[in-house]
Amino acid sequence: MKRLSALFISLLASAGLHAGEVQVAVAANFTAPMQQIATEFAKDTGHKAVLSFGATGKFYAQIVNGAPFEVFLAADDTTPARLEKEGHAVPGSRFTYAVGKLVLWSAKPDFVDARGEILKDGKFNKLSIANPKTAPYGAATIETLKKLQLLAAVQPKFVQGENISQTLQFVFTGNADLGFIALSQVFKDGKITEGSAWIVPGYYHEPIHQDGAILAKGKGNPAAAALAAYLKGDKAKAVIKSFGYDLR
């Protein structure tokens, strides 16, 4: 009887631990690290993070039109600030969870040189970029090409993805020879996982400060507050760094 009672209490405790749930809008570049973090978050807190991935600009439009997201992890710092100003995010809840890096990448080994000179050589057919109007990494790409004075030369070769995941897919499938993507998409544990790449120096574009915020719909949800706190902790930070991000 005692054993059955202990089992029943354990089951109740387990059910209570898993009761919390939070709807999270996540910038596409942060897909892999956030999937890993969400798994650890569930183990450590009992709360479940339900993840949706996409372009920051599109998420903004969805949020202001009433989408049920409770936490937003953007690819920039301006969009969460705008949402807070407009009353769609909890005041004072914004924080920088990662600083992103841009990389010119090809699935082909030895195709992209370590200094990005291939852009000047022009020995490629298609260049994949993210939509600069909705994806901050796309905006950083345009800044970089302007800095290199190559925008006019390479623009006719653009293949545009709606978000950074689609941008990577164009390169991975061979629809583009190379592309500007987030370093986190092809980086793990200190190295590029495959292909060839040029990591774009940070001074070629504005810093990609990626901010998170608790949205108005998440106010009062313990799981939303727990996730924001978890992302600031050492465990999450270690995962974030392992994918090539800097921490502010």
At 19, is the pLDDT very low, low, confident or very high (cuts 50, 70, 90)? low
Task: Taking residues 80-108, report their average pLDDT.
Answer: 98
Write down the residue that tokens 């092809």 correspond to: 186
Stretch among 11-20, 51-60, 119-128 having the lowest mean pLDDT: 11-20
Share the mean pLDDT of the chain: 92
| Whole-number Å distance between alpha carbons of 133 and 160 | 11
The CATH architecture that domain 102-199 belongs to is 3-Layer(aba) Sandwich (3.40)
Whether the predicted pLDDT of 165 surpasses 80: yes
Q: pTM value?
A: 0.86
Residue 180's alpha-carbon distances to 88, 99, 142, 159, in angstroms, are 31, 16, 10, 11
* Residues sharing a CB contact under 8 Å with residue 198, sequence separation 6 or more, in sequence order: 103, 104, 112, 113, 114, 115, 116
At 195, is the pLDDT very low, low, confident or very high (cuts 50, 70, 90)? very high
Q: Can you name the CATH fold of 2-99+207-242?
A: D-Maltodextrin-Binding Protein; domain 2 (3.40.190)
Beta pairing partners, 197: 105
At 13, is the pLDDT very low, low, confident or very high (cuts 50, 70, 90)? very low
At 65, is the pLDDT very low, low, confident or very high (cuts 50, 70, 90)? very high
Which two structure tokens, joined as six digits, stand for 121? Answer: 């050589």
Residues forming CATH 3.40.190.10 domain(s) in the chain: 2-99+207-242, 102-199
Whether the predicted pLDDT of 7 surpasses 70: no
Residue 212's alpha-carbon distances to 66, 116, 182, in angstroms, are 18, 31, 17
167, 130 contact by CB (below 8 A): yes
More confident residue, 21 or 2: 21
Whether the predicted pLDDT of 160 surpasses 90: yes
Residue 217, classed as helix, strand or coil, is helix
Q: What is the pLDDT of residue 206?
A: 95
Task: Taking residues 60-76, report their average pLDDT.
Answer: 97
Give percent above pLDDT 90 in the chain. Answer: 89
